[in-house]
Chains A and B, each alone.
Chain A
Amino acid sequence: MGAFFTDDDWRVLAAAADLVIPPDPLTGAPGGATGGVVHYLDQLLGAFTYDPPRIWAGGPFSGRHGGDASFGNWFALRPVDELAWRTRVEGSLGRSEREVNGPTVGLQEHYRAGLASLGPDFADLSLEQQQERLHAVPDGFRDRLYAHACEALYGDPVYGGNRQGSGWASIGFPGDVQPRGYTDDEVRGDP
């Protein structure tokens, strides 16, 4: 049970996340599920259950390369920032202040509809059946899930994905390096 998804939702989405980014048993690279795609989505879709909302992580340093860890100090949102992000996450829901230029379908609505289309038995289907159902979900669900999966695996772990840095480790990316940075020799590629 997360901030937004139920345990059943979680199982279905984890299976779907593994379709868009399958794990690689040869290299040990994480797939969508182990890489934390559902954790990431749960934190984004449930961002407003936290105070401050988990939209913009803090700065300047993660603490992984020196300095005090401050990414966990999430920024407070101004009223208009909250308006924008609630519209993006929850949808405009017919509220006039969120529909200055027309309605917006929220990420929560997209994922609820997607979960309904995938079906509660999704995780138990064969890979072939799963592919078929995932492709059949309307409104660009698969592309949206893939984009979020990319953000999850290769964004900072503070956003919920990239569990233990597994996404970065699988591609040899060092992530943030402040305040250490790189020496001039490292920049030039000198040994």
Chain B
Amino acid sequence: MTNVDADVVIVGSGPGGATFAEVVTAAGWTCIVLDKGRNHLIDALPPHAPKQHFANDELRFMERHFLGPDPLLEPRSYRRSADTDGDRLFAGDVNNLPSTVGGGGVHADGKLPRFREDDFHLRSLLGAVDGAEVDDWPITYADLEPYYAEVERAIGVAGEADPARGGNPFASWRSGPYPMPPGADMFGATLSTAAAERRGLHPYRAPTGANSVPYDGRPACNNCGFCGFYGCPIHAKGDPIAMLSRALHTGRCDLRPECVVTEVLIDGTGRRATGVRYLDTSQATGAHDAPVVEVHARFVVLAAGAFETPRLLLRSNPAGGLANSSGLIGRHLTFHFQTLTVGAFPHSMLGHRGRAVTHLHDDHIVGDDHQAAAARAAGLPWLRGGIVEHGAAAGPVLEAKTLPPGPLHNEAMRRSDLRDKLWVFTMQGEDLPQHGNQVDLDPRLRDVWGLAAGRVTYQPHRHEIAASAYVAPILEHVLRDAGAEWAFTTTSPPVGDLTELDLLNPLGVAPASKHWMGTCRMGSDAATSVVGPEQRFHDVENLLCADSSVFVTSAGYGPTLTLAALSARAAHLLTDTPRERHY
């Protein structure tokens, strides 16, 4: 190949793309990182100062699309199925992850658990489930462990490994300690974890990508409470500014914000990617005059997330999608099925202080005899829930909107049963992959640049609904035992026929978890998977995927640390700088 602009061009600057950029630049390679969003994170030019754009501002971050994508510019469509909803149920915001330099890492509250060994081979361990495509991953926990350790250090994860000091007794083995001790336990969590222990559960101090002590040139978190959905005003959260910063400081990473990649370029053989074509919207005065730019590279890495990555591949080849001989691009889309159990206490829970969530428990992933019995009763071979986050409620604007207008408003806001006195269990339930759940191109809807909008077709498997129904009473019991005067449970997505109430729910009709996975699943067989074990596309040898699209199963854990570890592994294998396995 001649005349390449860089060794690697990376599409997307979130945790996956940023990690990839750090690893390849450390190996001496050059890279261009393209992101369609604005840059509010770190100056692309030397000396690469962190930007000062984030703030404790509920309106800008929760109501006004500051981190993008604005649904008026980049609408998405959603349907449960073609049978129930035709071409679409609605268009607009469908579980929008930020479109900004740093991607989902910017708004995440930074809970960064690893998966467990079991998660990589559920099919062998537990068996198939009717109506779902539960498969083993082509790699194991042991393959990934060195890279988990590497990205924990890169991001800066504060956590506790020792169960005697609040660590997770169910965690799989680790080759070393967390880089930092955990931050302060939130008051509400001290109540909910004590009650959880009385119920026989095993809450632990959440591994969190927010500094508990000064780390890597960034300050310790000062517990401001504006964590999930907000960028960190003081950059105590390391994901992914830490990786981008190190990549930029090598001088070998060219970060280009506001560049909308329209297609992946392929050579005449159809088996090699030559680069990408993009609209440089930073040079535009309107929606239609952005210069079209091509960059060429030895390798093209897609890290645009499990929604945008398949959308880009599908539009890159109108005749059935690029690298899609399997027909599986966009399929096996998973989210997490959220079970949200809330309890209102007779006193303040101080939820506005601290890291939003400081404790988790894994018991409903691990299961027990009762859970196995619930599976049998539901006619399923097994049931797996997800991590339960012990956390605070949202801000006062959202609380107010949840209440009805009129004379009761002031009293309800002053009591604040829905915010100050609320404590929330959120279970990120494992979502079984299904062939029919997918991202494809909407036949009519367009984005502001004229590109076909992405469409989500999704409905939960009955496994998720059964798991949620089994766990919810346990969570309600724990909250009442912790002192809540009442507790109740909702789910996202809502279950059953849509009601008026579902349409008013601020969580929306589509899954709200912000965890997108599985649309380019990895595997060894090119007929049943899209990318191989080294995350190269089966059909295009120098095209890689470095985001959660490659997940084979969703597990019941937040995806970020695993997708970053996978990205690090893929980049190390590509640059022939593999990490040693520890066992």
Whether A and B are associated in the same complex: the answer reads yes
A60 touches B222 (CB 8 A): no
A187 cross-chain contacts in B, Cβ below 8 A: 183-187, 223, 350, 353-354
Partner among B352, B354, B397, B446 whose Cβ is within 8 Å of the Cβ of A100: B446
Q: How far is the CA of A6 from the CA of B527 in the complex (A)?
A: 66
A156 touches B59 (CB 8 A): yes
B447 cross-chain contacts in A, Cβ below 8 A: 100
B58 touches A154 (CB 8 A): yes
A84 touches B73 (CB 8 A): yes
B407 touches A188 (CB 8 A): no
A12 at the interface (CB under 8 A from B): no
Known interface pairs A57-B57, A182-B224, A188-B185. Does A153 touch B400 (Cβ–Cβ under 8 Å)?
yes
A104 at the interface (CB under 8 A from B): yes
Q: How many A residues are at the interface, by size bracket?
A: 35 or more
Chain A 1-26 per-residue mask, 1 if CB under 8 angstroms from chain B, else 0: 00000000000000000011111100
A150 touches B397 (CB 8 A): yes
Known interface pairs A186-B223, A189-B187. Does A20 touch B405 (Cβ–Cβ under 8 Å)?
yes
B250 at the interface (CB under 8 A from A): no
**Which of B303-311, B323-331, B364-372, B413-421 contacts its partner?**
B413-421
B66 touches A175 (CB 8 A): no
Most buried by B among A20, A21, A180: A21
Known interface pairs A59-B53, A150-B397, A184-B184. Does A21 touch B409 (Cβ–Cβ under 8 Å)?
yes
B285 touches A156 (CB 8 A): no
A88 cross-chain contacts in B, Cβ below 8 A: 72
Q: How far is the CA of A155 from the CA of B284 in the complex (A)?
A: 33
Partner among A21, A83, A176, A185 whose Cβ is within 8 Å of the Cβ of B56: A176
Chain B 379-406 per-residue mask, 1 if CB under 8 angstroms from chain A, else 0: 0000000000000000111011100011
Name the distance in Å between A118's Cβ and chain B's nearest Cβ: 15
B83 at the interface (CB under 8 A from A): no
Most buried by A among B52, B226, B407, B420: B52
Known interface pairs A59-B233, A188-B184. Does A79 touch B284 (Cβ–Cβ under 8 Å)?
yes
A178 at the interface (CB under 8 A from B): yes
Q: How far is the CA of A59 from the CA of B72 in the complex (A)?
A: 25
B215 cross-chain contacts in A, Cβ below 8 A: none
B400 touches A154 (CB 8 A): yes
Known interface pairs A101-B445, A147-B401, A171-B416. Does A83 touch B73 (Cβ–Cβ under 8 Å)?
yes
A188 cross-chain contacts in B, Cβ below 8 A: 184-187, 190
List CB contacts (< 8 Å) of A18-36 with chain B.
19-24, 27, 29, 31
A29 touches B224 (CB 8 A): no
A55 touches B64 (CB 8 A): yes
Name the distance in Å between A163's Cβ and chain B's nearest Cβ: 15
Partner among B54, B187, B288 whose Cβ is within 8 Å of the Cβ of A59: B54
B444 cross-chain contacts in A, Cβ below 8 A: 101
Chain A 36-80 per-residue mask, 1 if CB under 8 angstroms from chain B, else 0: 000000000000000000011111111000000011000100111
Q: How far is the CA of A117 from the CA of B432 in the complex (A)?
A: 51
List CB contacts (< 8 Å) of B213-227 with chain A.
221-226
B64 touches A97 (CB 8 A): no
Partner among A60, A78, A83, A151 whose Cβ is within 8 Å of the Cβ of B234: A60
A22 cross-chain contacts in B, Cβ below 8 A: 406-407, 409-410
A171 touches B413 (CB 8 A): yes
Closest Cβ neighbor of B38 among chain A residues: A78
Name the distance in Å between B418's Cβ and chain A's nearest Cβ: 11
List CB contacts (< 8 Å) of A136-191 with chain B.
142-143, 146-147, 149-151, 153-156, 159, 167-168, 170-189
Q: How many interface contacts (CB-CB < 8 Å) are there between A and B?
A: 193
A81 at the interface (CB under 8 A from B): yes
Name the distance in Å between A61's Cβ and chain B's nearest Cβ: 7
Name the distance in Å between A26's Cβ and chain B's nearest Cβ: 9
Known interface pairs A79-B286, A83-B73, A171-B414. Does A58 touch B353 (Cβ–Cβ under 8 Å)?
no
A27 touches B410 (CB 8 A): yes
B287 at the interface (CB under 8 A from A): yes
A175 cross-chain contacts in B, Cβ below 8 A: 56
Chain B 297-316 per-residue mask, 1 if CB under 8 angstroms from chain A, else 0: 00000000000000000000
A87 at the interface (CB under 8 A from B): yes
Q: How far is the CA of A27 from the CA of B409 in the complex (A)?
A: 13
Name the distance in Å between B224's Cβ and chain A's nearest Cβ: 5
Partner among A29, A59, A173, A180 whose Cβ is within 8 Å of the Cβ of B222: A180
B75 cross-chain contacts in A, Cβ below 8 A: 101
Name the distance in Å between A152's Cβ and chain B's nearest Cβ: 9
Name the distance in Å between A160's Cβ and chain B's nearest Cβ: 10
B267 at the interface (CB under 8 A from A): no
A146 touches B286 (CB 8 A): no
B405 touches A177 (CB 8 A): no
A151 touches B72 (CB 8 A): no
A57 touches B184 (CB 8 A): no
A176 touches B57 (CB 8 A): yes
B82 at the interface (CB under 8 A from A): no
Q: How far is the CA of A146 from the CA of B53 in the complex (A)?
A: 29
A70 touches B56 (CB 8 A): no
B397 touches A155 (CB 8 A): yes
Name the distance in Å between B250's Cβ and chain A's nearest Cβ: 27
A151 touches B187 (CB 8 A): no
Q: How far is the CA of A175 from the CA of B224 in the complex (A)?
A: 10
Name the distance in Å between A18's Cβ and chain B's nearest Cβ: 11
Q: How far is the CA of A155 from the CA of B396 in the complex (A)?
A: 8
B63 at the interface (CB under 8 A from A): yes
B57 touches A151 (CB 8 A): no
A78 cross-chain contacts in B, Cβ below 8 A: 38, 258, 281-282
Chain B 256-289 per-residue mask, 1 if CB under 8 angstroms from chain A, else 0: 0010000000000000000000000110111110
A24 touches B411 (CB 8 A): yes
Partner among B186, B226, B258 whose Cβ is within 8 Å of the Cβ of A176: B226
Extra A-B contacts (11), CB below 8 Å, given A60-B55, A70-B52: A20-B405, A24-B411, A27-B410, A57-B57, A58-B53, A59-B54, A59-B57, A75-B53, A100-B450, A177-B225, A187-B186
A residues apposed to B, CB below 8 Å: 19-24, 27, 29, 31, 55-62, 70-71, 75, 78-81, 83-84, 87-88, 97, 100-101, 104, 142-143, 146-147, 149-151, 153-156, 159, 167-168, 170-189
Identify 10 residue pairs between A and B in the complex whose beta-carbon atoms are under 8 Å apart, listed by A's number.
Answer: A29-B414, A61-B233, A78-B282, A101-B446, A151-B63, A153-B400, A170-B414, A176-B224, A187-B186, A188-B186
